Amino acid sequence: MLSADHVSFRYAADGPLVVDDVTLRLADGALVGILGPNGSGKTTLLRLLSGTRRPSAGQVLLGGQPLDRMSRRDVARRIAVVPQETELAFEYSAIEIVLMGRHPHLGVFTVEGPDDIRIAREALTATGTADLADRPFHELSGGEKQRVVIAAALAQSAGLLLLDEPTASLDLGYQLEVSSLLQRLNQQQGVTMAISTHDLNLAASICQELILMRDGRVLATGPTNEVLTPENLQRLYDVEADVHIHGDTGHMTVVPVRRVAR
């Protein structure tokens, strides 16, 4: 289980709190969405949960052990991160990108062996990108790139996946593909996930629980059908919204109606 215990963070010693006294728990097998407007602290919270940032106060625990007392290699074996954007300084093929996910399991000066290549190819297959293995990464479409990056995260063999805006800048078809992929990985492979997103309908359709953040603080947390209410969305975004169950899918659907004064 990954947890944050009264965690706060500021980027400068005299700067404002970007994350303010956040407490949360990610149980094994959970699929949790983190929602909030721009500047609410969602991405920073993911960085704290992944150990790439250290809290200014409080602590992050992984399996009951403080994250900042674990080596980066040990953390990377248990937590994989999918960033919002992936920028590469050199040209790599898709399979080379995925093999990078094996680095936490390799010794110093050790190259990938047959087992690592097998795991990488299985990750490509799991994300529907096996046919892209030898394609240059920079030539792939946005949706293909995102699925390859998720494959690299899976190749880490980590049980916990943190994703920052996984469907941002994707067209509707690729949004559906990625959301279906994430749901399948969670349900069939038991991967625990926390997803930071602006996509309310993505969160409503696949997330079991939600964390609503504004100004660095948690406004509400709990099961999706209890947290995703018109009242909470107005508190979160200053927007009046209609929330209802879609007749065909059975999922909650959010339709923004109008902006309201705070």
**pLDDT, tens digit, for every residue of 125-167?**
988 899 999 999 999 988 888 889 989 998 998 889 999 998 8
Query: What's the pLDDT at 70?
Result: 93
Mean pLDDT of 190-202: 92
Q: What is the pTM of this model?
A: 0.89
Query: What's the pLDDT at 136?
Result: 94
Alpha-carbon dihedral 98, 104, 109, 111, rounded to 10 degrees: -30
Query: What's the pLDDT at 171?
Result: 82
Q: How confident is the model at residue 248 (pLDDT cuts 50, 70, 90)?
A: confident
Query: What's the pLDDT at 255?
Result: 86
Give Cα 148 distance to the centre of its chain: 15
With 90 as the cut, is the pLDDT of residue 247 above it? no
Where in the chain are the domains?
2-259
- Given this structure, which CATH class describes domain 2-259? alpha beta
Mean pLDDT of 53-80: 92
Query: What's the pLDDT at 174?
Result: 81
Q: How confident is the model at residue 104 (pLDDT cuts 50, 70, 90)?
A: confident
With 90 as the cut, is the pLDDT of residue 95 above it? yes
Per DSSP, the residues of 105-157 read: GSPTTPPP-HHHHHHHHHHHHHTT-GGGTTSBGGGS-HHHHHHHHHHHHHHTT
